[in-house]
Structure 1
Amino acid sequence: MNKYIRSGGRVKFCISLVFLTMAMSNSQCEQFSLSQLLEKQTQEEDQLLQVFNHHLIEAFYDSRNRYTSVLFASVENVSNLIREKDEQLAFENLKAKMLHQNLQNAIEARDFWQICAMEKLEIAAALQLEMDKVATPAPCFSSTSHLPERVETGESSFIKPFFPCKLCYSLRACTVFLPCRHLSTCQLCHFSATACPICGTEKAEVIEVLLSDE
């Protein structure tokens, strides 16, 4: 009897030991599965962060390249505008210089022609004075060829003055010597004259005067 009791106690002990071992094995399996799950979740989170960082870096570089391109385009546009303004300013300065030069030339031409006109007026006045002197009747003449020619018209007559050359005294004087403004020689004699035959002033220039024969 005691022998059976002892055998039954041993069996119970073995069964309890088996259940305890199984419980410990299940607990270890659950702990192992949980650690694997945590590790897997951590790996997935790391991969997700890597993908997010990669996309973020790509977006950053794309934005930087786009803004850099826009900035370079803006700088190039500003440079082109500045270059165009510089060229326009240079053209306007050149145009202003040309206008100023043209104005100076016009002023110089005006002054020159004013001086020429005044000289012509003075020459005309001197010629008129010479004509008045020659047209005045003289007491006597050495030759009848020097007398003024009387021209007959239908109703009256007038005297056309004759200005003899002061060198040959045969042809009509038709050249004015400058600067003295004397009506001195004919068209042929003024080439050989170096000075005015009236006052002796050195000849600087000669002006031909066309006197009408009518």
Structure 2
Amino acid sequence: MAIQAQLYSENLGFSLGGSQEWVDNGCGGFNGSCFNLQQHQQQYMQQLQSQQEQIQGQRNYQNFFLDNSLMGSTLKNSPNYGFSHSLASQFDNQRQEIDQFITLQSERLRLVLQEQRKQQLAALMRKVESKALALLRQKDEEIAKATNRAMELEDFLRKLEMENQAWQRVAKENEAKVMSLNHTIEQIKEKACGIFSEDAESCCDDNMGNREEGTGENRGGGGEGEEDEEDSTSNMVCRGCNSRNSCVLLLPCRHFCSCKACEGFFDHCPVCQTEKKGWIEARIF
């Protein structure tokens, strides 16, 4: 029985040693899938359980053998009682050694499995961190693009606001210019109306004087009166076409010497050759 126990311990050591070598080699390759690792662990646990059952059966057999041997030695009062006692002590020592070996192997297996679990968790964390870093970089790039786009839009809006303000200033300036021109035109019209009224009064006064002189001269002779009437009618004729009556007052010389149709052809006054700045249409009834 001692030889059988020793052989069984050697076989157990070989099987556990193979398991230890399997553990040292990374459980069949740590880079494999978690399913293979769990399968190997289950196989090893089943093997360990079967070995424990065999050891328990051997213990029971040894206990039965010891009980029978002790009973036989007691009944027969044989002198081999010391040998049986030494054999029983050897069995106890072997049993303790086997228990210690199983405990040691179980502790080693627990440590190896714990280390493998740590390595698996570390590898999983590295993968998760790499993916998280990639996602963070992608999000950072998207945020940078969105920030640049927002800055571009802000610059564009700022330019639009500046252009809007510039156009508003131009519109206000143009409005002020229009108002100033309208005011100037109104003033010119008022001045022209005043000048025309003064010229009309002076013309009326001259005509009245000429008429009085004409009446005095007509008493002496009628030829000179007819010549004055011809001169006045010639002064009212347009200097451009010499056919239509003058109805345009040229500015600033204030000469009444053009019709409306011929006004555009005159850059200078045909009477005094003064540069034309403007004109006013006068209606004489």
> If the length of structure 2 is used for normalisation, what is the TM-score?
0.47
1:114 is aligned to 190
1:129 is aligned to 205
Deviation at 1:87, TM superposition (A): 1.0
Instruction: Give CA deviations for 1:34-63 in whole Å, capped at 9, x if unaligned.
Output: 111111111112222233333333333333
Q: Which sits farther off after the overlay, 16-25 or 60-69?
A: 60-69
> Which AA in structure 2 matches 1:69?
K
Q: Which sits farther off after the overlay, 61-70 or 41-50?
A: 61-70
Deviation at 1:112, TM superposition (A): 1.8
Partners in 2 of 1:65 and 1:206 — Cα distance? 79
Change over 3 Å in CA distance of 1:35–1:140 after alignment to 2: closer
Instruction: Give CA deviations for 1:70-94 in whole Å, capped at 9, x if unaligned.
Output: 3332332233223223212211221
> Which AA in structure 2 matches 1:37?
L
Classify the secondary structure of the residue corresponding to 1:89: helix
1:22 is aligned to 98
Partners in 2 of 1:14 and 1:39 — Cα distance? 37
Deviation at 1:173, TM superposition (A): 7.6
> Are 2:224 and 1:147 equivalent residues in the alignment?
yes
Instruction: Give CA deviations for 1:133-158 in whole Å, capped at 9, x if unaligned.
Output: 111156569x8587323xxxxxxxxx
> Which AA in structure 2 matches 1:18?
Q
> Which AA in structure 1 matches 2:183?
I
Partners in 2 of 1:7 and 1:103 — Cα distance? 140
Deviation at 1:131, TM superposition (A): 1.0
Deviation at 1:117, TM superposition (A): 2.7
Gaps of 5+ in 2: 1-77, 236-251, 259-285
Matches within 5 A, 1:69-88: 69-88=145-164
> Which AA in structure 2 matches 1:78?
E
> Which AA in structure 1 matches 2:122?
D
Q: CA RMSD for the aligned pairs?
A: 3.6
Partner residue of 1:103 out of 153, 171, 179: 179
> Which AA in structure 2 matches 1:110?
E
Higher helix share: 2
Change over 3 Å in CA distance of 1:16–1:91 after alignment to 2: same
Instruction: Give CA deviations for 1:6-45 in whole Å, capped at 9, x if unaligned.
Output: 4444333333322222221111111111111111111112
2:228 is aligned to 162
Partners in 2 of 1:55 and 1:109 — Cα distance? 80
Instruction: Give CA deviations for 1:83-116 in whole Å, capped at 9, x if unaligned.
Output: 2232122112212212221221232123123212
Asked if 2 retains the 8 angstrom alpha-carbon contact of 1:162 and 1:172, the reply is yes
Asked if 2 retains the 8 angstrom alpha-carbon contact of 1:148 and 1:162, the reply is yes
Partners in 1 of 2:254 and 2:105 — Cα distance? 138
Change over 3 Å in CA distance of 1:205–1:47 after alignment to 2: closer
Q: Which sits farther off after the overlay, 86-95 or 75-84?
A: 75-84
> Which AA in structure 2 matches 1:122?
E
Gaps of 5+ in 1: 150-160, 164-170, 177-203
Partners in 1 of 2:254 and 2:135 — Cα distance? 94
Higher strand share: 1
Partners in 2 of 1:82 and 1:65 — Cα distance? 25
Asked if 2 retains the 8 angstrom alpha-carbon contact of 1:147 and 1:162, the reply is yes
Change over 3 Å in CA distance of 1:46–1:146 after alignment to 2: same
